[in-house]
Amino acid sequence: MKVNQNLHLSPESLQKDIKFQGQGSINFQELIKMQNEKLQSGNLHALLSEIEKAGDRLAKSRNFRDLTKYKNLIQNFIKEAVNLGIGLKKSNTWDSGGQSRILQIIEKIDKKIIELTDEILTKETENIKILSIIGEIKGLIVNLYT
């Protein structure tokens, strides 16, 4: 049995368009890109809703556990946004100092988180003192047993 070796495929014949109802012709790469963007957008929206819920919880409770969760959610959102290229798309705007706009927004978020932490710390100072005294008492009790 002899195999035909005269088979020539051109790149044009391999890149056929896929037709979808109502969308005209879209090639496969564009379709994958669109679906990937939808998935990424959905992930960011889910993170935003989690941040909103955690912010509401933090406003009510004002404790460090909720503050830590809120900070972690914001960090995750920023990482996702930068990894997905949102920051890269918006970084074309430069200020007079030569820094991109997205970096300024992240710096503002960091400053606000620090401000929020300081505010909670000042309001929780009495609770922290009480907890530290309780911790000292527990430490002294442990020293008695040893």
Alpha-carbon torsion, ordered 53, 55, 56, 62, to 10 deg: 130
The region, left, alpha or beta by phi > 0 then psi within -120 to 50, assigned to residue 98 is left
Say if residue 59 is exposed, middle or buried (CB neighbours under 10 Å; 0-12, 13-18, 19+).
Answer: exposed
* 15 vs 47, residue with greater confidence: 47
Q: What is the pLDDT of residue 60?
A: 78
| pLDDT band, very low/low/confident/very high, at 34 (cuts 50, 70, 90) | confident
| Window from 27-31, 85-89, 120-124, 133-137 with minimum mean pLDDT | 85-89
Q: Does the pTM exceed 0.85?
A: no
Mean pLDDT over each residue of the chain, to the nearest integer: 68
CATH topology of domain 25-145: Four Helix Bundle (Hemerythrin (Met), subunit A) (1.20.120)
Domain boundaries, the chain: 25-145
Residues 64-101 have pLDDT tens digits of: 888 889 888 888 877 777 676 554 444 445 556 665 55
pLDDT on residue 99: 54
Give whichever of 73-82, 89-98, 104-113, 123-132 has the largest mean pLDDT. 73-82
Please tell me which residue, 98 or 62, carries the higher pLDDT value.
62
Quote the pLDDT of residue 25: 65
